[in-house]
Structure 1
Amino acid sequence: MSRTQSIEAEQSILGRLLVDNAAFDRVGDLLTEADFTKPAHKLLYGTLARLINSGKGVDVVEVFEALKSRSIESEAGGLAYINELAQSAYVTGNVRRHAEIVREASILRDTLAKIEQAQEIAIGSGALAEKLDKVAALFSGMDAGNSSRKPKPMSDVMVRVIDSINEAAEGKKVGWRTGIYGIDSRLNGGLKPGKLYVLAARPAVGKTSLTIQIEKRIAQDGHPALMLSQEMEDEELGARSLSGHARVSFGNIQTGKLNDEEWTRIADGVDELAQIPFWIDDEPALSIHAINSKARYVKGLAVLAVDYIQLCEGDGDNRTQQVGSITRGLKKLAKQLGIAVIALSQLNREVDKRPGRRPQMSDLRDSGEIEQDADVIVFLWPLCDSEDEAELRHIGCEIAKNRQGKKGAMVLTLDGAKQLWAESARTIDSFGGNTKSRSSFE
């Protein structure tokens, strides 16, 4: 028997299903007709699955008539072969194990086929980065186990729920803290694994700056963080991170005009940042496959930030479908890897026409599917009540969607010179609707 096929196991499964329809409950979650090797077996399994799922009692005659109605009975081996399978069925055999053998062989065939495709890509034309992206996409999502997860009984789920409650009570499982109390409290302790967080704002409000600070804080706590910036170069992101960490003006870092004390803080900041698990990537126009590959590259990754959704390359006939494919892919990635994903998003221009410029869900640019896929949506918008706040800016921050926590708004401050965010004691209402914008610290 070849490791890439088992005709005997395929025949055993088909024969068993013909005489014991209930056996489908033990193989239906594991197999599809594509897992079978012989074309006749593919047709027979597909037909059996459809008939059994319809709730009918299925036997040799029923299957043959169903094939005959589609004029494919001869391609499935004819009545004689179907009857032979039923007559030789090993009713007391381990049909689940036979299904596992067929599934494993199918995965091996798929793997070998992908290896051949990868070789063709490797020796073909195109840039190296493009080839690596295509190869990564080939193998992304392959699973050596079952084709789908099995449903879990409530008793098993409750055990995990109690464990989670105990961990939370002991302070062992509160999420990855952002360092901003108002956000962490509404998120029940911080960012959670498997969740998609969307941070949305108009350009130049500060969403990139805030995300860098959050990821840096998480990395300082020992949890690996990755920033995928499709707009800024890695050196600029590094300089902004250093500015806040060393408490040195970003402008001074850019010009190199630093006094002795600032040079000392810069040197200390560089040493400290070099020790934390914070990764930066500045490749533009990322596909969801490339994002998957980069996320898997960072071992033990806790939090991934993608800046920003509208710069990614998605699948679909129009931009709405493309953006939807990106957010679905990011949500799937968060669940697969058990990480928190922060996806930055632009808002459309309509928000600038609204008094107060406070965002709402309809302002999310390009796709309403962003709202549907996100577990949490956070809006930022500029607040300003006097002309002397050129350096310390007040930014409105609203958690507008939160599937597992509280919603609400707060005021954050941004020290634009040092790229430092903090929570303000002021309230949104204290600004009286005056939202005149300031200079950019994106």
Structure 2
Amino acid sequence: MTTIDRLPPHSLEAEEAILGSLLIDPDAIFDVSIFLRPEAFYSAQNQTVFEAILALSDRREPLDLITLTEELRRQEQLEKVGGEAYIISLINAVPTAINAVSYGRVVEAASLRRKLIGAASTIANLAYDEAEDVNIVIDRSEQALFSISEQRTTRDLVPVKQIAREYLERIEQLHERGDDIIGVPTGFTDLDRLLGGLNKSDLLILAARPGMGKTALQTGIALTAATRYGKRVAMFNLEMSGEQLVQRMIATETRIDSQRLRRGQLHEHEWPIFMEAIGRLSETRIFIDDTPSITSNQLRTKCRRLYAEHGLDLIVIDYLQLMQAERSTNNRVQEISEISRALKGLARELDVPVLAAAQLSRAVEQRADKRPLLS
């Protein structure tokens, strides 16, 4: 049998079992609906029944043979799903609802496999399109897979007892270490004393007017984290090339004038200093991406890959407003808000600090209210 002849992955038995389990134990919907969606059902008939169950649950109405039958009749779907006889057969399909979550996981797994097959087909079509730039093909392929993996990122409710126990262990470790810095050190003593370093899962916005040294400050923090503390740093610079950023780093490390560095005009005594700085920088675990107008999804995919291959301690972005929204709208403020939420989600997912620069408007100087605004 060829791939084309194969039926997509599915389990009608599991679909019927989960629906029957919900009819036997309606409270199981609270555990199942966390991860299972109507579109996960292969059978349109079973999908319609599950949607009706969710509708009753959303309205906090009781679920049984009679209420479900009436809900389907109200939606004019009862005969399409096989009538009352089919609902009765679902109840008879399982003796108990104890395995409801397991049945739901089987349905979810089959759905994910179907989505992977669809993504693979999409990727194949993209690859065959020779008119499309190969880098765009790669980005879109990664997005196709990422959109599937993203759907699986869910968190369950955790007893506070468990969180408190983990928190206690962390505090005991910090107490034994006797260090004020609990996150990634910035290299600025007063700032580290105030913040305790750049903490995991935090999104930190470094906001200032143009030309006030945001990039220099970010670069300094990244260099300190990587050279002095051996941290793994991902730097996304949307404003300058990777070579320009490295030049800034070398200028910071050597105190050699950046303009002379750019022109290669080094004095004889500066060459050893320059070569030593190059060697020191080459030994760090700094990873630079200078993709202009990168989207939050693209950035997340790259960080995920880096995290898996090398580990990751800090993400630096310069700067926020140069990032491109996933969906273009006429409201740039809304787009920036969505990008910020995506970056916060990334910080939490990878459990690393994200330091993002943001441009403030120069118009503050012309306003009576001097509070800064995004440019």
Asked if residue 217 in structure 1 is aligned to residue 217 in structure 2, the reply is: no
Q: Which structure features the higher share of strand residues?
A: 1
Question: C-alpha distance in 2, partners of 1:157/1:67?
Answer: 43
Aligned-residue offset at 1:266: 0.2
Question: C-alpha distance in 2, partners of 1:310/1:91?
Answer: 55
Match of 2:244 in 1: 236
Asked if the contact 1:133–1:289 (Cα under 8 Å) also holds between the matched residues in 2, the reply is no
Aligned-residue offset at 1:7: 0.6
Report which stretch shifted further, 205-214 or 323-332: 323-332
Asked if the contact 1:177–1:190 (Cα under 8 Å) also holds between the matched residues in 2, the reply is yes
Aligned-residue offset at 1:294: 2.2
| Equivalent residue letter for 1:184 | D
2:352 to 339, 342, 349: 339
Counterparts in 2 of 1:14-413, with a 5 A limit?
Answer: 14-91=19-96, 93-124=98-129, 125-140=131-146, 142-143=148-149, 148-171=154-177, 174-187=182-195, 189-220=196-227, 221-298=229-306, 299-314=310-325, 315-318=327-330, 319-353=332-366, 360=371, 362-365=372-375
Q: What do residues 379-400 of structure 1 show as CA deviations (whole Å, max 9, x unaligned)?
A: xxxxxxxxxxxxxxxxxxxxxx
Aligned-residue offset at 1:192: 1.3
Asked if the contact 2:250–2:277 (Cα under 8 Å) also holds between the matched residues in 1, the reply is yes
The 1:345–1:166 alpha-carbon spacing in structure 2 relative to 1, beyond 3 Å, is: same
Asked if the contact 1:104–1:144 (Cα under 8 Å) also holds between the matched residues in 2, the reply is no
| Equivalent residue letter for 2:324 | E
Q: What do residues 333-369 of structure 1 show as CA deviations (whole Å, max 9, x unaligned)?
A: 11111121111111112223358xx963x5123xxxx
Aligned-residue offset at 1:22: 2.2
| Equivalent residue letter for 2:223 | K
The 1:66–1:107 alpha-carbon spacing in structure 2 relative to 1, beyond 3 Å, is: same
Question: C-alpha distance in 2, partners of 1:34/1:323?
Answer: 31
The 1:238–1:343 alpha-carbon spacing in structure 2 relative to 1, beyond 3 Å, is: same
Match of 2:3 in 1: none
Q: After TM superposition, where is structure 1 displaced by more than 4 Å over at least 4 residues in a row?
A: 144-147
Match of 1:103, SS? helix
Question: C-alpha distance in 2, partners of 1:345/1:22?
Answer: 47
The 1:297–1:29 alpha-carbon spacing in structure 2 relative to 1, beyond 3 Å, is: closer
Equivalent pairs counted in the alignment come to: 361
| Equivalent residue letter for 1:154 | V
Match of 2:269, SS? helix
Identity across the alignment (%): 27
Question: C-alpha distance in 2, partners of 1:343/1:335?
Answer: 15
Question: C-alpha distance in 2, partners of 1:144/1:286?
Answer: 19
Match of 2:101, SS? helix
Report which stretch shifted further, 205-214 or 322-331: 322-331
Question: C-alpha distance in 2, partners of 1:276/1:249?
Answer: 22
Asked if the contact 1:12–1:90 (Cα under 8 Å) also holds between the matched residues in 2, the reply is no
Aligned-residue offset at 1:198: 0.8
Q: What do residues 388-439 of structure 1 show as CA deviations (whole Å, max 9, x unaligned)?
A: xxxxxxxxxxxxxxxxxxxxxxxxxxxxxxxxxxxxxxxxxxxxxxxxxxxx
| Equivalent residue letter for 1:302 | D
Q: What TM-score do you get using the length of structure 2 for normalisation? A: 0.90
Asked if the contact 1:316–1:325 (Cα under 8 Å) also holds between the matched residues in 2, the reply is no
Match of 1:276, SS? coil
Question: C-alpha distance in 1, partners of 2:153/2:323?
Answer: 29
Report which stretch shifted further, 76-85 or 272-281: 76-85
Question: C-alpha distance in 1, partners of 2:50/2:347?
Answer: 34
Aligned-residue offset at 1:93: 4.8
Aligned-residue offset at 1:147: 5.9
Report which stretch shifted further, 152-161 or 23-32: 23-32
Question: C-alpha distance in 2, partners of 1:134/1:92?
Answer: 41
Q: What do residues 157-215 of structure 1 show as CA deviations (whole Å, max 9, x unaligned)?
A: 1111112211222338710000001211221x211121111111121111011101101
| Equivalent residue letter for 2:71 | A
Report which stretch shifted further, 241-250 or 90-99: 90-99
Report which stretch shifted further, 135-144 or 78-87: 135-144
| Equivalent residue letter for 1:256 | G
Q: Which structure features the higher share of helix residues?
A: 2
Q: What do residues 81-105 of structure 1 show as CA deviations (whole Å, max 9, x unaligned)?
A: 1111123332155222211111111
Report which stretch shifted further, 225-234 or 311-320: 311-320
Aligned-residue offset at 1:24: 2.1
Asked if the contact 1:194–1:337 (Cα under 8 Å) also holds between the matched residues in 2, the reply is yes
What are structure 2's unaligned runs of at least 5 residues? 1-5
Asked if the contact 1:196–1:331 (Cα under 8 Å) also holds between the matched residues in 2, the reply is yes
| Equivalent residue letter for 1:332 | G
Aligned-residue offset at 1:223: 1.3
Q: What do residues 226-269 of structure 1 show as CA deviations (whole Å, max 9, x unaligned)?
A: 11111111111111100111222222212322222211100100
Asked if the contact 2:24–2:97 (Cα under 8 Å) also holds between the matched residues in 1, the reply is no
Question: C-alpha distance in 2, partners of 1:222/1:316?
Answer: 39
Asked if the contact 2:32–2:101 (Cα under 8 Å) also holds between the matched residues in 1, the reply is yes
Question: C-alpha distance in 2, partners of 1:359/1:323?
Answer: 22
What are structure 1's unaligned runs of at least 5 residues? 366-442
Question: C-alpha distance in 1, partners of 2:182/2:276?
Answer: 30
| Equivalent residue letter for 1:95 | A
Asked if the contact 2:226–2:286 (Cα under 8 Å) also holds between the matched residues in 1, the reply is yes
Aligned-residue offset at 1:146: 5.4
Q: What do residues 95-140 of structure 1 show as CA deviations (whole Å, max 9, x unaligned)?
A: 2221111111111111111111111122223212211111111122
